[in-house]
């Protein structure tokens, strides 16, 4: 087969999601990224325009498969009867965990990167993440509301924020064993983490949302 040579652009994106996920946006310098990517310092501005544009491109590339899978599952669910809360929660959580965690080291790097971005309280980064995942999130919110007609819109939004936050938490802890909290980010069986998280959230949604 032909040799799939990594372009400078791809190497920059790979290293960016590794370093940004590890040290955060402000805590990672372009020089650290370009050195690790075996690229010239000017390459970032040539290919992306700025440091922030590199972040934006990395977020878009990392989120694309997750969003695609979520859309696919949501389509499939809504094609059948009205989905249950559990089905919706599963369709949201699993693409975020399995899809990246099942891909070994590289997948965990992507997960940590996504989690850290989704997590970040900084205004600029929050907006960046929001624009990337806004449309699909609206669909989930609406579907959740239909599945939980007895809950107020505020309660559904509250549950959704919590689901998003917990997913980001466990994503950002990929590659972080956190020995105090055993079994959480168990790299041996990411599916188990997904099951635990889904069960936790289903219980909270079903009985923990005040009307």
Q: Which residues bind a copy of itself (CB under 8 A)?
A: 23-27, 112, 115-116, 119-122, 130, 153-155, 157-162, 165-166, 169, 172-173, 176, 178, 180-184, 195-196, 199-204, 206-210
Q: Least CB distance from residue 70 to a copy of itself, whole Å?
A: 17
Residue 43 binding: pick among DNA, a copy of itself, none (C-beta 5-8 Å cut-off by kind): DNA
* Residues between 3 and 22 with contacts to DNA, criterion CB under 7 A: 7-9
| Close Cβ partners of 9 (under 8 Å, ≥ 6 residues apart) | 47
Q: What is the rounded CA–CA span in Å between residue 205 and residue 109?
A: 30
* Residues between 117 and 176 with contacts to DNA, criterion CB under 7 A: none
Taking the alpha carbons at both ends of the chain, their separation in whole angstroms is 59
By beta-carbon proximity to DNA, the closer residue of 44 and 101 is 44
Q: What is the rounded CA–CA span in Å between residue 140 and residue 137?
A: 5
Contact pick of 16, 39, 114, 193 for DNA (by CB under 7 A): 39
- 59-83 in b/e form (b: 16+ CB < 10 A) is beebbeebbebbeebbeebeeeeeb
Q: Least CB distance from residue 174 to a copy of itself, whole Å?
A: 10
**Per CB under 7 A, 76 contacts DNA:** no
**Per CB under 7 A, 46 contacts DNA:** yes
Give Dmax (Cα) for the chain.
Answer: 59
Q: What is the rounded CA–CA span in Å between residue 124 and residue 106?
A: 26
Residues near DNA, by CB under 7 A: 7-9, 28-32, 39-47, 50-52
């Amino acid at each position: 087969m032909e040799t799939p040579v990594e372009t400078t652009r791809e190497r920059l994106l790979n290293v960016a999601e590794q370093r940004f996920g590890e040290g955060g946006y402000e805590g990672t310098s372009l020089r650290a990224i370009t050195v690790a990517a075996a690229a010239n310092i000017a390459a970032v501005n040539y290919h992306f325009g700025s440091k922030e544009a590199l972040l934006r491109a990395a977020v878009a590339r990392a989120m694309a498969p997750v969003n695609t899978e979520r859309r696919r599952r949501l389509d499939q669910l809504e094609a059948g009867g009205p989905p249950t809360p559990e089905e919706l929660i599963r369709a949201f959580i699993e693409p975020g965990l399995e899809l990246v965690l099942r891909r070994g080291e590289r997948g965990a790097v992507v997960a940590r990167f996504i989690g850290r971005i989704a997590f970040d309280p900084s205004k600029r980064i929050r907006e960046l993440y929001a624009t990337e995942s806004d449309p699909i999130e609206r669909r989930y919110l609406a579907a959740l509301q239909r599945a939980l007609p007895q809950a107020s819109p505020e309660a559904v939004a509250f549950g959704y924020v919590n689901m998003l936050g917990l997913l980001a938490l466990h994503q950002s802890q990929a590659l972080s064993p956190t020995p105090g909290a055993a079994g959480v980010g168990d790299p041996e069986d990411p599916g188990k983490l997904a099951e635990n998280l889904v069960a936790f959230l289903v219980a909270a949604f079903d009985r923990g949302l005040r009307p």
